[in-house]
Structure 1
Amino acid sequence: MTPTVDVMDIPQVTLGAINIEAADPRALGAFWAAVTGGTPAPSGDFVYLPPAAPGGFAMFFQPLTGPRPDRLTIHLDLTVPWGTRSAEVERLVSAGATWRWDVLDEHPHVQWTTLADPEGNLFCVAEHPPQA
């Protein structure tokens, strides 16, 4: 028998902000503002980028505290409407991203392009086909 879960027992966890250490927090904050449509709020060496719209996500950029790792073990997956990935990738490359690779036929439920931000942090732009 499956135990009943009371909604009050489920943690009410939400994403407060994605924190990124950067060689140049202001420049990287400006790039991500172009990605998300948010307005950066610099304060000293730090930049806060609030969500651009309800349901969006915040980002916080701070100076590097040590050497950048050779390989990151986490990255962002951004989702765009079906049929708009190519145009969005072009927009992001013109804003300063670097194209790394496309994955277009590995999985039937998603296609994505992997990009790097101006400091080399990888992120993906994915689109899912409409449900039949």
Structure 2
Amino acid sequence: MSVSLRAVLIESPDPVALGAFWSAALETSIDPGTDGVVIRFGQPPEQLLYIVEGPRPEGPRAGKPCMFLSAVDATLDEESERLVALGAAVIDRKWNVARELNVGYAAMLDPEGNCFHLLSSDEEVRTAERILETW
């Protein structure tokens, strides 16, 4: 079992300006996103930096981005159980479309309280897509 880093999410009062900085820093393009901008970087599979509109972070979590990981050789449930055994905590579970498809993510905290989301594996997503085609 393993995970791969898929994306990092940063809230900013000015996603375009912050996105311009990160696209220059990573020497890559900036694309429009749903709630801000998307910066694609790395080798395939590419990683994503989402910069979304939000208040300037304040307090103990100020400036701490939320990472998005994806299960690789295991299901979302198996991988979240493994990470809990390593010291993480599940704080929420969200399902895409319908719970019986078992595709979604687990919002988690690492042992120091840093947020990350564990996404369903690509295989789980492909299986759900095949099932949805028959509905």
- Of structures 1 and 2, the one with the larger relative CO (CA 8 A, separation 6+) is 2
TM-score, normalized by the shorter chain, greater than 0.5: no
Structure with the greater alpha carbon radius of gyration = 1
* TM class by smaller structure: 0.3 to 0.5
What's the TM-score once normalised by structure 1's chain length? 0.42
